[in-house]
Structure 1
Amino acid sequence: MRRATIIVAVILAAVSGCAPAGSSGGQDNPGDIPLPGQEWALKDGMVTAAEYRTAMGRFVACVEDAGYPVSDPVLSPADNLTLIYTITPSGEPEVYNAAVQTCNLAHLSIVEPTFVEANSQVMDEPLTAAISDCLQRRGVTLTTRERNLADFADAAKEEAKVVDCVTGEWAKVYPTLPAEVPLRF
């Protein structure tokens, strides 16, 4: 039950907390970036794939240095941009959450959405088919041109149905991938 709660919390946080970043990493002025550990990637107003991979590597190293094992990041089939991973929590939840949040704020929290939202999100076909089937079973009419989460949300007229379908179908389609996956609409 705890794992399911963590998975849902991560997905909900990703869905609700990922507003599009501006060209300067969500800040009015690149000099105003409040997270100096990420400034190196954000200073020019954009994040390259190489910068994103470097930031992810720094995040993973930070979490591992805090004592929590992290799987190797892999490309998310939900958007083919986001790197997803599994962190193995242990000990007190408050300590674990604080450590992961500290690493996220130091290395990834602005870099990742800036990179992902500046690029075209395209869902892998197996997940596209599973989400299509799920939404159609829920009475949603699709165009068959849906290729990402935003397309599905537009067709469904609400993100919640799409989140429900992704969380319900993910493990069936990708049983060996990390269960936690950010969803950006």
Structure 2
Amino acid sequence: MLTITHAVRPLATAFSALALLALSACAAPEEGPVVLTAEQIRDLAAAAEDNGWLEQAEAMRDGTVDAQEYANAFENFSACMSELGYAAPATWISPMDGVTIIFEIDPGGRSDDQQSEDSLACQDKYFSMVAGAHQDTQPYEMDEGIRLAAIQCLRSEGFALDGEEDTPLEMAGPGWMLSDGTRSDQWRAAVKCLQLSQFELFPEIPYSVVTDR
């Protein structure tokens, strides 16, 4: 399952309702992180093909998405935005997981609503499903500086950690998803500490992406 939390306006990685629906077809969140199976990725490929998103369908057809297919999908998204008159986006690899492409697009005088509409349309067609399938199945490799700073931050907030935690869910502790579907206080604190740590250590990256992995 992939849940994205942004400290700022969520243009970095936005998923269509269809992609989110497909990605959420997994075990209950309180059971912990769930990696998409090859069968689920092939189901995403079929859904993409049904919508006419043929490039994404082809990338996922074999039940996996490798790094090159992920990069190709982002290039297709960028080309789509270029055709709409946008400059090439600035990009970074998220230090939070070592996988996610974070990007920022210059609106070029367009309104925020117009930019968001254009970005989501291009992501839906060329990038969102492939991105979700790739990110969800890769090892989580958090930057060590962020990890240590977030642990220290959480301890200062009164949460007991053993110092070995290296994913957001481990930092959030057991019971991070409450029975009513909301997140625990420790989860919210973990997100805050992780984001603050990234912004302090990587001030050049304007977005922070924290997933429930």
What TM-score, normalized to structure 1? 0.81
Q: Give the conservation status (yes or no) of the 8 Å contact 2:44–2:57.
A: no
For the 8 Å contact 1:25–1:114, the answer to whether it is kept is no
Q: Name the CA shift for 1:160/1:113 in 2 (closer, same or farther; >3 Å).
A: same
> Any gaps of 5 or more consecutive residues in structure 2?
1-5, 25-34, 177-183
Determine the C-alpha separation between the residues in 2 that align with 1:6 and 1:131. Answer: 15
**Does structure 1 residue 122 correspond to structure 2 residue 149?**
no
C-alpha spacing 1:88/1:21, structure 2 compared with 1 (3 Å):
farther
Q: Could you say which residue in structure 2 is the equivalent of 1:169?
A: 197
Cα deviation for residue 13 of structure 1 reads 6.3
Matched letter for residue 146 of structure 1: E
Quote the RMSD (CA, aligned, Å): 2.8
User: Aligned match of 1:38 in 37, 40, 56?
Assistant: 56
Tell me which stretches of 4 or more aligned residues in structure 1 moved more than 6 Å: 11-14
Q: Partners in 2 of 1:93 and 1:65 — Cα distance?
A: 18
Equivalent position to 1:104, from 111, 123, 132 = 123
Between the aligned partners of 2:65 and 2:130, the Cα distance in structure 1 is 7
Which sections of structure 1, spanning at least 5 residues, go unmatched?
none
Alignment of 1:35-114 (within 5 A): 35-89=53-107, 90-114=109-133
Q: Paired residue for 2:162?
A: 143
- 3-state SS of paired residue (1:110): helix
Residue 152 (1) aligns with residue 153 (2): no
Q: Which has the higher helix share?
A: 1
Identity %: 22
How many residue pairs get aligned? The number is 178
